[in-house]
Amino acid sequence: PTGTTVDAHGDLRVGDLRVAELANRFGTPLQLLDTTDVRRRCRAYRAALPHAEVAYASKAFLCRAMARLVADEGLSLDVCSAGELAVARSVGFPAERILLHGNAKTPEDLKAALALHVGRIVIDSLDEIDQLGALVRDRQRVLVRVAPGVDGQTHASITTGTDDQKFGFPLSTGAAAEAVRRVLAEPSLGLVGLHGHIGSQIRKVASFEEATRRLIGLMARIRDEHGVELPELNIGGGHAVPQLPGDEEFDLAGFANRIEVAVHDECHRHGLRVPRLTIEPGRALVATAGVTVYRVTAVKNTTRRWVAVDGGMSDNPRPALYGAQYAVRLIGRPHTFPTQPATVVGRHCESGDVLAREVPLPHDLRAGDLLAVPCTGAYHHSLASNYNMVGRPPVLAVEGGVARLLVRRETEEDLLRRDVG
Ligand code: LLP
């Protein structure tokens, strides 16, 4: 794994560069992204499923350089707002490889997607069928988002495959079949397939397999009812990453194999042509390539050892939102022993602003020390806020032994710019 091992001198390296030196040079908090690792993972996904379309879910992390990297690597792009679309457009991302998602697309989102001629729009409500139908000039290719009734056994806030959540049309209630009927009746929309994303940080390949089988079952019913064979099947993303040392890697080879078998089996059973498969990993491509570096601002020994750092829930709300756990490492000086438990907290005015509870850190940790938190490449920068008027951290890419600033630190001037009262 990249970015997670620290040697006896306290050196954490990304590529060949010492992270502590980068933190001194670019300031803290600092979000580093090992783009060599991101490229390697893009290639691994494409190689594992050579006939499938791999679309990067840009909500995990997006900036112009990332969009360019994804385009270079031959992946498609999943966007879910006019804003994400604007980033893609600004680097000339091939529009036919863009998919627009979202359960509450605004007229601006839809108009921006149509103006750019994106490849596909994924329909998530009956209202959207009408709204899109009224806006389309020529014809727009669409997929219908289906909730296949599969529980991926992940945190409730990132579960999307079950019936009782806001995304898609449940399969079990007949809502999905009805949405398909409605789309087929709308002359300006060309239905090309079904979509089912069952959630995020999912480990069990069996859940993806079950969802795939159910979606193909619906494709067979659509063929029987309407005489239409849909050429595409998009099974979403959601592949888990090892968040803590010792967590298992997602079994990509096993996933690829079992999904291909499931698709072929079910299609054969129903006498369907095999559709083109799309997968949409976000986290799995970027999470482990990211490291965040903080500087300790204060150590307070009261009921426990509280270690406060210069960032927190504004750059990483995931512990507060999902109970996410992180490893924390001292870098920049030799690790001293023994370790003692520390609760690493942020600078924000909330007691829930905790980055890691009771993690082992050197007994003599002090203000000024640098702490590195691995596995922060996905849903960190993209979820960041300006809470307490704290500027968002910069994102620094490391590739081929060179550090390159992708997103600069947010300044007070930036923070004041929108305040026009
Ligand atoms: N496709 C669709 C339609 C999605 O909604 C998502 C993620 C993905 C693909 C990619 O899922 P991934 O491969 O990244 O798991 N903020 C949460 C995660 C939210 C996921 C939203 N949708 C977190 O920090 O855990």
Q: What is the pLDDT of residues 118-176, one digit of tens each?
A: 999 999 999 999 999 999 999 999 999 999 999 988 888 888 999 999 999 999 999 99
Among residues 123, 125, 196, 114, the alpha carbon closest in space to that of 161 is found at 196
How high is the pLDDT of residue 3? 45
ipTM above 0.90, yes or no: yes
Report the alpha-carbon distance of residue 215 to residue 233 in Å, rounded.
Answer: 8
Angle at the Cα of 62 from the Cα atoms of 56 and 65, rounded to 5 degrees: 100
Q: What is the pLDDT of residues 93-120, one digit of tens each?
A: 999 999 999 999 999 999 999 999 999 9
Q: What is the pLDDT of residues 299-325, one digit of tens each?
A: 999 999 999 999 999 999 999 999 999
Cβ(119)–Cβ(140) below 8 Å:
no
Strands 169-170 and 140-147: parallel
DSSP per position, 353-398: -EEEEEEEEETT--TT-EEEEES-SSSSTTT---GGGPPPPPEEEE
Report the alpha-carbon distance of residue 142 to residue 37 in Å, rounded.
Answer: 33
Report the alpha-carbon distance of residue 267 to residue 271 in Å, rounded.
Answer: 6
Q: What is the pTM of this model?
A: 0.97
- What CATH architecture does domain 13-33+287-417 belong to? Beta Barrel (2.40)
pLDDT band at 1 (very low <50, low <70, confident <90, very high): very low
Residue-range domain boundaries for the chain: 13-33+287-417, 36-285
Is position 349 annotated as part of the catalytic site? yes
- Taking CA atoms only, the protein residue closest to ligand 1 atom 20 is 200
- Taking CA atoms only, the protein residue closest to ligand 1 atom 9 is 237
Q: Would you say the CB of residue 77 lies under 6 angstroms from ligand 1?
A: no
Q: What is the pLDDT of residues 186-198, one digit of tens each?
A: 999 999 999 999 9
Q: How far is the CA of 73 from the centre of ligand 1 (A)?
A: 20
Q: Would you say the CB of residue 101 lies under 6 angstroms from ligand 1?
A: yes
How high is the pLDDT of residue 11? 87
How high is the pLDDT of residue 5? 65
Domain covering 36-285 in this structure, CATH number: 3.20.20.10
Residues in the chain, how many?
Answer: 421
Q: How far is the CA of 136 from the centre of ligand 1 (A)?
A: 28
Going by C-beta distance under 8 Å and a sequence separation of 6 or more, which residues neighbour residue 91? 64, 67, 68, 71
